[in-house]
Every structure is written in C-alpha cells, then in structure tokens.
Amino acid sequence: MNEGMYGKALAQYLQTKLRERGYEAPFVCCEDWGWWVELKGPPFPFGVCIYAAPGQKPPAPDRPADYVCTDGAVGPRQWSWRKFRFVDTAPWVQKLHADLLAIFQADPEVETCGVSDDFPL
C-alpha cells in the first residue's frame, strides 16, 4: 500500500452497503492510486474508486478523513469483449451515482461535501 492511500474502511463499508442494494461486490483491493470496490454485472470493468484527498493525513478521531469516490467507467462508451462491441456505460454509472448518494445521505455520520461529474484528479 502506498503512503497516503487511506480509505480501506470506506471501501469495505461501501462493499457492504452496495451488496444490500443488490450489487455483486466480490472484493475490495488497494491500488497505487487508492481503493477499488469491484462490481460485477456490467459488460465492462466497473466499480467504485476511492481516493484520499491530496495531502490527506492519517485519519484520527479529531481529524475526519476526506475522500473522493468515483465510478470506474472510463468514458461514456467502453469496449465489451463479452458483447464484442462498444456499450453505453451511462445506465450503470447513473444508477451507481444515485445509489452512492443515497448511501451517504442515509448515514448521519457521513458528510457529503460536494458532488461533481468532473474527474477529481
């Protein structure tokens, strides 16, 4: 794990909450850029990317963590080897976006500071 790649607890939390919403989320893993929550089902690689905010210090009780969550889709269309054609990622991205917002808004311990369609990093 790279220094400053905090977010394992958030990844595990989202894995549980997304499973409760019907997603197949078989695993979470640490990447060189942050944490990945794998989501099965779409005909392309898909999941939730969790990044620690730039310059983030280790979380502590008196210093809550700041994280950025994005979907793992690489654009509005992505090649699917299963379907052997490009597929529109929008239906999966929009559903995941709405479900992530609902998960965060339903938890009184989570503060959502902002929502954007722009890639954060």
**pLDDT, tens only, 53-89:** 666 666 666 766 777 788 877 778 887 787 788 999 9
**116 has a pLDDT exceeding 90:** no
The residue segments making up the domain with residue 96 are 8-106
Q: Higher confidence at residue 112 or residue 91? A: 91
Q: Please check whether residue 34 lies inside any domain of the structure.
A: yes
Number of domains in the chain: 1
Total Cβ atoms within 10 A of residue 43:
16
Q: Please check whether residue 119 lies inside any domain of the structure.
A: no
Please name the residues in contact with 114: beta carbons below 8 A apart, sequence gap of 6 or more: none
Q: Please check whether residue 51 lies inside any domain of the structure.
A: yes
- pTM score, two decimals? 0.83
Q: Please check whether residue 20 lies inside any domain of the structure.
A: yes
Percent of the chain having pLDDT more than 70? 79
Q: Please check whether residue 115 lies inside any domain of the structure.
A: no
Q: Please check whether residue 45 lies inside any domain of the structure.
A: yes
Q: Please check whether residue 80 lies inside any domain of the structure.
A: yes
Q: Please check whether residue 17 lies inside any domain of the structure.
A: yes
